[in-house]
Amino acid sequence: MTGTVRQAHRSRVTGTVVEVWDLDAPDAEIMRDRQPTAWDDDGNVTAWDEGDRWATFCVDHGEFVTHRTLALARWHAPQPQHWCEQCEQESGAWDDE
């Protein structure tokens, strides 16, 4: 899954590069993380369910999370330790100590 990069920066907490993707941009390789709902006679997908349009992507670890709004994607971007499993482990974000 790839989308068009709308924003990229390095997290101050983890030091990893995080991108905000538009999954519906014309040059995106795949449209969202959606399920097909209709096919033509040749088996090609002709309709998709309504899924999330935006994603935050941890470039260093290849993990991502999708969002319905750009505002949510931008809010999650500086905090990859809360949605990227490897960033969480490396930063100790949820350690009880």
pLDDT in tens, 2-21: 668 888 999 998 999 999 99
Q: What is the pTM of this model?
A: 0.69
Structure tokens at 15: 């030091």
Per-residue pLDDT, 91: 79
Chain length of the chain: 97
Tell the burial category of 53 from Cβ atoms under 10 Å away from its Cβ (0-12, 13-18, 19+): buried
Domain assignment of residue 97, yes or no: no
Per-residue pLDDT at 87 exceeds 70: yes
Position 90 scores a pLDDT of: 86
Query: Domain limits at 66?
Result: 4-91
Taking residues 52-67, what's their average pLDDT? 87
52 inside domain: yes
What are φ and ψ of residue 39, in 5° steps?
Answer: -130, 150
CA distance 13 to 79: 7
**Residue 79 resides in a domain:** yes
What letter represents residue 69's amino acid? T
Number of domains the chain is built from: 1
CA distance 21 to 31: 11
CA distances from 39 to 17, 50, 51 (A): 38, 16, 17
